[in-house]
Amino acid sequence: MLRSLRERLKKVPAIYNLYMRIKRSITGELLGMTSRSEQDYLYVYSKDFYKGVGEIVELGSFLGATSIPLARGLLQNPSSAGKEKKIHVYDLFVWSDGMNDAVAGTNLVGRYKAGDKFVDEYRRRTAKYSQQIEIHDGDLNVLGWSGGEIAFLLVDAMKSIDLANSIVHNFYGSLIPNEGLVMHQDFAHYYTSWIHLLQWRFRDHFEFEAEIPASSSVVFRYTKQIPDELLKQKTVLESFSDEEVDVAFSYSSGLVSAEKLPHILASKVMYYIHTGRYRDAQRTFDSLVSDGVKVEKHLVDVQNILKDRRE
Ligand SMILES: C[S@@+](CC[C@H](N)C(=O)[O-])C[C@H]1O[C@@H](n2cnc3c(N)ncnc32)[C@H](O)[C@@H]1O
């Protein structure tokens, strides 16, 4: 309901700006694309659970809403090894139209247009924690990783299958077995179907760690080193059989609570849209409906995509 209210409010920018200002002041959310519960999880992780062994890496930092709680937690980490660490943040820092929504109700409305660089704004917002943050400004596909073992990998940049392959190739191999955590910020987002196929492909190397309520995030623990040949293998969406797709999405659906379920189911429909199999996408959607699944949350998004396709 909140979601459809938001969509309606967006049509009247002045009211939407006000709504977002009030929402942020009530929730205490930092300006960005993540919820308060995700930001709190990151703070608690870096303060109480991070032992100062291995690195904390954040892929997709935008304006710092996830960097700030991580950095704040590090400063309060009881171990001196933890306090001395830096968070490695990666971002292109190039504005796109999709970012306008996230800054509604702030003085950043209209400040940047598509293509503008915004790393200075990131620096300004995170200035208090500049000693805790190492900025990797650029395309993570190109920059890669050469910083040693990774204790915590926040993935908020798996926005395409190419980026997903690149993150797997460049970062997963450095995760510390048994200790390393991967937080998939887009796990319960309809668009990123590849995350489910990859997590299923690597199911013998990860276990479910936590679901962050009121968010799209799910955290996995890296239990066992992924062999090099598997890490280097390029994942091609079309290479999965329909049976594998069914099993992969059932696996993901079985991990999450009811709150996230419609998003995972929507992502399965999106898999068929991404692979150009619109009839199978429609068939998958229709069978969910005939099984009694309520069309809500991200299922509405895929329903709209299918509707637009038909018109
Ligand atoms: C959803 S936003 C991150 C939101 C942020 N975690 C927050 O809490 O507000 C995704 C970010 O990924 C970045 N990104 C997308 N493609 C990238 C790439 N190839 N290399 C580095 N960053 C990329 C975008 O610039 C964007 O800031």
pLDDT in tens, 150-166: 999 999 999 999 999 99
Q: Residue 121, Cβ neighbours under 10 Å: how many?
A: 20
Residue ID of nearest Cα to ligand 1 atom 19? 139
The ligand 1 atom nearest the CA atom of 141? 19
Q: What single letter denotes the amino acid at residue 258?
A: A
CA distance 281 to 278: 5
Shared domain for 128 and 245, answered yes or no, is: no
Same domain assignment for residues 228 and 245: no
Residue 1 lies in a domain: no
Centre of ligand 1 from the C-alpha of residue 65, in Å: 11
> 1 pLDDT band (50/70/90 cuts)?
low
Alpha-helical segments (H) within 172-275: 194-201, 228-232, 242-253, 261-274
Together in a domain, 174 and 140: yes
224 and 90 in a common domain: yes
Residue from 40, 156, 168 to probe ligand 1 pocket by mutation (most atoms less than 8 Å from CB): 156
Q: Is residue 105 one of the residues assigned to a domain? A: no
List, for residues 114-150, the tens digit of each pLDDT value. Answer: 999 999 999 999 999 999 999 999 999 999 998 899 9
Cα of 259 from ligand 1 centre, angstroms: 24
What DSSP letter does each residue of the chain carry, written as one string? -HHHHHHHHTTSHHHHHHHHHHHHHHH-PPSSSS-HHHHHHHHHIIIII--S-SEEEEE--TTSTTHHHHHHHHHT-SSHHHHT--EEEEE--B--GGGTGGGTTSTTTTT--TT-B-HHHHHHHTGGGGGGEEEEES-HHHH---S--EEEEEE----SHHHHHHHHHHHGGGBPTTT-EEEETTTT-TT-THHHHHHHHTTTTEEEEEE-TTSS-EEEEE-SPPPHHHHHSPP-GGGS-HHHHHHHHHHHHTTS-TTTHHHHHHHHHHHHHHTT-HHHHHHHHHHHHHTT----THHHHHHHHHHHHH-
Domain end position, chosen among 207, 235, 263 = 235
Q: What percent of the chain has pLDDT over 70?
A: 99
The answer to whether residues 148 and 277 belong to one domain is: no
**Ligand 1 atom with minimal separation from the 62 CA:** 27
Q: Whose CA is nearest to atom 12 of ligand 1?
A: 60
- Burial label, 132 (beta-carbon count in 10 A; 0-12, 13-18, 19+): buried
The pLDDT value recorded for residue 172 is 98
Number of domains in the chain: 2
For residue 137, the number of C-alpha atoms closer than 13 Å in the C-beta half-sphere is 11
In a domain, 118, yes or no: yes
pLDDT in tens, 66-99: 999 999 999 999 998 888 999 999 999 999 999 9
175 and 267 inside one domain: no
Residue at 259 is within a domain? yes
The residue among 217, 235, 253 that closes a domain is: 235
Task: Please check the confidence at residue 4 and state whether its pLDDT lies above 80.
Answer: no
Residue 83 pLDDT: 85
- In the structure, what pLDDT confidence band is assigned to residue 23 with cuts at 50, 70 and 90? confident
Residue 17, domain member (yes or no): no
Q: Residue 39 belongs to a domain with what CATH number?
A: 3.40.50.150
Residues 142, 190 within the same domain: yes
Distance from Cα 186 to the centre of ligand 1, integer Å: 11
Q: In degrees, to the nearest 5, what angle opens at C-alpha 95 toward C-alphas 93 and 96?
A: 135
Q: Are residues 194 and 46 in the same domain?
A: yes
Within 6 Å (CB) of ligand 1, which residues are found? Answer: 32-34, 60-62, 65-66, 90-92, 139-141, 156-157, 159, 163
Distance 59 CA to ligand 1 centre (A): 7
Task: Decide which of 193, 212, 235 is a domain's last residue.
Answer: 235
Asked whether residue 288 falls in the same domain as residue 142, the answer is no
Whether residues 228 and 253 share a domain: the answer is: no
pLDDT score recorded for residue 8: 80
The answer as to whether 8 is a domain residue is no
Residue with CA at minimum distance from ligand 1 atom 16:
157
One domain, residues 204 and 245: no
Question: Do 157 and 140 contact (CB within 8 A), yes or no?
Answer: yes
Kindly give the distance from the C-alpha atom of residue 61 to the centroid of ligand 1, in angstroms, as a whole number. 6
For residues 227 and 255, state if they share a domain.
no
Ligand 1 atom index nearest CA of 154? 6
Q: Model confidence at 9, in pLDDT bands (50, 70, 90)?
A: confident
Q: Mean per-residue pLDDT for 45-54?
A: 97
Which domain, by its residues, includes 289? 239-310
- In a domain? residue 5: no
- The model carries a pTM of 0.96
Distance 63 CA to ligand 1 centre (A): 9
